[in-house]
Chains A and B, each alone.
Chain A
Amino acid sequence: MKTASLKIFALASLALAILMMSGCAESVSVIAEAAQASEAPTDAPVLPDAPEAEEEILQSAEKGYEFSHNGASVALGGLASDFIASAGEPDKVFEAPSCAFVGVDKILYYPGFTVNTFPIDGVDYILAVVFTDDRVTTPEGIYLGKTRSDVETAYGEPSLEEENGSTYNKGGMSLRFVFEEDVAVGLKYYYDDSNEHSI
């Protein structure tokens, strides 16, 4: 290659390298935002997993399916005391102490449904809501005794379909139906299916 061409080529390569290294200055802020938003490693120090992870789960559950009783909304992951304060005291309470550890799971019985709670540091949080009979209805108009097609009309395609069940996931929580001969016999709101974890 001739000297002049070589110089031009080298200068052009260098210009390209500088361009790439400096980036587009005006888009640095956009890139910075993207770098922060992306899951790829950024240049910021990597922090350990936040110990508040459990709180994050609890908070995100509020955006899922909702159920309310006597005007009191049941917030999965929310404080049981808040619900009791709004909805009133349960008819009865079943307590199930954890195997080995300190902590008591509870089932609060209300007319037509139960609220299952679990303790964190001695404070009860709502784990699940289970319908026990047809005295209560979901905001979407479903109650025990409705058919499978009624459920699909109200909620659409399930996230998980089984022979005798359908589960809908939304906002970090789930709504599960159990069917016998295509009739809903079980209904449960929950965000963690391992509610038998303590026994």
Chain B
Amino acid sequence: MRFVSYEFLLLLAVALVLYYTACRKCQWQLLLAASAVFYARSGALHLLFITATVASTFLASMAMAKRERKRERRLPFALCLVFNIGILAFFKYSPLAFPLGLSFYTLQTMGYLIDCYRARPGVKPALSNPFKLALFTSFFPQLTQGPISRFGELKDTLYARHELKADDFTEGLLRVALGLFKKLVIAERLMPLLGIQGGFAGWCVSSLLYAVTIYCDFTGGLDIAIGVARMFGIRLSENFDRPFYAKSVSEYWRRWHMTMGSWFRDYIFYPMSLWKPVLRLSKVKALGKRAPVWVATTVTWLATGLWHGATWNFVLWGLLNGLVILVSQELTPFYKKFGKKYPKLSESKVFSAFRVVRTFLLVAAIRSLDLLTLASGKKGLLSLPVSALIVLVAAVLLLVIGEHRMRKLQNPAARMGASLSLFLLTLVFGAYGAGYDVASFIYTRF
């Protein structure tokens, strides 16, 4: 089932009505049922894999809960980890149909497993109800493209009873409206143009177009996910914080797909960098003190690239990001010297703007590796009719000027007004319906 479909709208409407009326005492159970329906519509066979993930994680967490010592928890932990990562790896490299949301729910559930292994506060004791774990794994708004939630952060809101509040509902509605606007008015209109154009100028344009498309598509999907959850009174983590305002690639990755970044940081980077064999590398003179950081960063970004895709371009993309971040870190002393020598310039708005633009271009360039998997010679931006170009420019301007302001609206009536206006604009100017095939969100392929 797609987010942008009439059947999803129907499922959402029915679920919301029941949630706040007939099922007020069984709200989380209703969400589980809705999630099962959502997932089953995408392929009953895939239910098997998500069930296997939930079952194996539950059994492993129960086994670990009985063992006080960490050493004793290793076997069930390792078995469950290998099993689920194995499923993920299998489908990454297999030509078989990729189960919906596999990458996302695997990361999310393995996060829970690792937290159980580490017996982190808030996770101990582990869930004794497998259905609650099933809901955490399969909660339908976030199933297909995140955000990747941590159990400790989500459990209080996910299983609690929620009353219908104007604040939650209208804020959720506004996020959904924003998401649909980004997806249908902008992303869908740009999708057919994606591909490497000839020449350097063509490559630049392609990269920029792709950056805008993926931003609108991904954040649009997340807006819908977060908005839908909010309409149920459930707060999911934010996943984007105006990434195109970042002044460095490191900062960019702290603003883009934040939950993925923090997952890899907490579950791969930190353990890797604190692992004794890696720490010992800092004592090897030829490698230097920062060797553990280099190793941990490389492994983390390699894993990030592999998580995105099994093809070489994603691996290269991951490693390039890691390399740029490491080089930037190594150049930090020089940046500091520059800042001391030219304090006015380095603190000026012009310089900040330069850094923002530089970061945007750098990230767009690295991201353009994705485009290499697409056929070249696609139609250029100017192949769009003038009317479509005007709509695109107007929509992008509306986003740049208005998105942040709209997200900050406090008054429920104002939010409602903004939502309905966005819905109307999307209904009229959206690229959907006859003659269009609304593509899945890009990130649902992971």
Do A and B touch each other in the complex, judged by CB within 8 A?
Answer: yes
State the A residues within 8 Å of B (CB): 1, 3, 6, 9-10, 13-14, 16-17, 20-23, 28-29, 31-32, 34-36, 38, 40-51
Question: Which of these binds chain A: B13-21, B91-99, B199-207, B224-232?
Answer: B91-99
Query: Per a CB cutoff under 8 Å, which of A21, A23, A42, A49 touches B445?
Result: A42
The residue of chain A having its C-beta at the shortest distance from the C-beta of B299 within the complex is A18
Chain A residues, CB < 8 A from B442: 45-46
Contact A43 B446 (CB under 8 A): yes
Query: Which B379-431 residues have C-beta < 8 A from chain A?
Result: none
Is B265 in contact with chain A by the CB < 8 A criterion? Answer: no
Contact A48 B373 (CB under 8 A): no
Question: Which of these binds chain A: B79-87, B129-137, B345-353?
Answer: B79-87
Is B270 in contact with chain A by the CB < 8 A criterion? Answer: no
Query: Per a CB cutoff under 8 Å, which of A1, A17, A32, A48 touches B82?
Result: A17
Query: Per a CB cutoff under 8 Å, which of A23, A42, A49 touches B373?
Result: A42
The residue of chain B having its C-beta at the shortest distance from the C-beta of A35 within the complex is B311
Interface-central residue, A13, A32, A43, A49, by most chain B CB under 10 Å: A43
Interface-central residue, A6, A41, A48, by most chain B CB under 10 Å: A48
Contact A22 B306 (CB under 8 A): yes
Chain B residues, CB < 8 A from A42: 309, 311, 373, 445
Is B185 in contact with chain A by the CB < 8 A criterion? Answer: no
Query: Per a CB cutoff under 8 Å, which of B85, B213, B373, B446 touches A20?
Result: B85
Contact B306 A21 (CB under 8 A): yes
Contact B75 A28 (CB under 8 A): no
Q: How far is the CB of A42 from chain B (nearest CB, A)?
A: 7
A47 and B445 contact, Cβ closer than 8 Å, known pairs A21-B85, A28-B315, A31-B311: no
Question: Which of these binds chain A: B157-165, B186-194, B236-244?
Answer: B186-194
Q: How far is the CB of B127 from chain A (nearest CB, A)?
A: 24
The residue of chain A having its C-beta at the shortest distance from the C-beta of B432 within the complex is A48
Q: How far is the CB of B195 from chain A (nearest CB, A)?
A: 9
Chain A residues, CB < 8 A from B370: 43-45
User: Please, how many angstroms separate the alpha-carbon atoms of A187 and B317 in the complex?
Assistant: 58
User: Please, how many angstroms separate the alpha-carbon atoms of A43 and B217 in the complex?
Assistant: 14
The residue of chain B having its C-beta at the shortest distance from the C-beta of A19 within the complex is B89
Is B303 in contact with chain A by the CB < 8 A criterion? Answer: yes
A31 and B93 contact, Cβ closer than 8 Å, known pairs A20-B86, A46-B440: yes
Mark B87-111 against chain A: 1 for CB-CB distance below 8 A, else 0.
0011011111110000000000000
A-B residue pairs in contact (CB < 8 Å), sample of 7: A21-B89, A28-B311, A34-B95, A45-B194, A45-B370, A46-B440, A46-B445
The residue of chain A having its C-beta at the shortest distance from the C-beta of B439 within the complex is A46
State the B residues within 8 Å of A (CB): 71, 74-75, 78-79, 81-82, 85-86, 89-90, 92-98, 188, 191-192, 194, 213-214, 217, 302-303, 306, 308-315, 370, 373-374, 435-440, 442, 445-446
Contact A20 B309 (CB under 8 A): no
Q: How far is the CB of B302 from chain A (nearest CB, A)?
A: 8
User: Please, how many angstroms separate the alpha-carbon atoms of A51 and B436 in the complex?
Assistant: 9
Chain B residues, CB < 8 A from A34: 95
Contact B306 A6 (CB under 8 A): no
Q: How far is the CB of B366 from chain A (nearest CB, A)?
A: 15
Contact A48 B78 (CB under 8 A): no
User: Please, how many angstroms separate the alpha-carbon atoms of A29 and B312 in the complex?
Assistant: 7
Interface-central residue, A6, A9, A36, A45, by most chain B CB under 10 Å: A45
User: Please, how many angstroms separate the alpha-carbon atoms of A42 and B191 in the complex?
Assistant: 16
The residue of chain A having its C-beta at the shortest distance from the C-beta of B98 within the complex is A41
Chain A residues, CB < 8 A from B79: 13
Chain B residues, CB < 8 A from A41: 97-98, 440, 445
Besides the contacts A40-B95, A45-B213, A47-B439, what 15 more A-B pairs have beta carbons closer than 8 Å? Answer: A1-B75, A9-B75, A13-B82, A14-B78, A34-B95, A40-B98, A41-B445, A42-B311, A43-B445, A44-B445, A46-B439, A48-B188, A48-B438, A50-B192, A51-B435
Contact A45 B74 (CB under 8 A): no
Chain B residues, CB < 8 A from A48: 188, 191-192, 436-439
Query: Per a CB cutoff under 8 Å, which of B74, B310, B440 touches A6?
Result: B74
Q: How far is the CB of B75 from chain A (nearest CB, A)?
A: 6
The residue of chain A having its C-beta at the shortest distance from the C-beta of B440 within the complex is A46
Q: How far is the CB of A35 from chain B (nearest CB, A)?
A: 6
Chain A residues, CB < 8 A from B315: 28
Contact B89 A20 (CB under 8 A): yes
Contact B311 A45 (CB under 8 A): no
Q: How far is the CB of A7 from chain B (nearest CB, A)?
A: 9
The residue of chain A having its C-beta at the shortest distance from the C-beta of B445 within the complex is A41
User: Please, how many angstroms separate the alpha-carbon atoms of A140 and B194 in the complex?
Assistant: 46
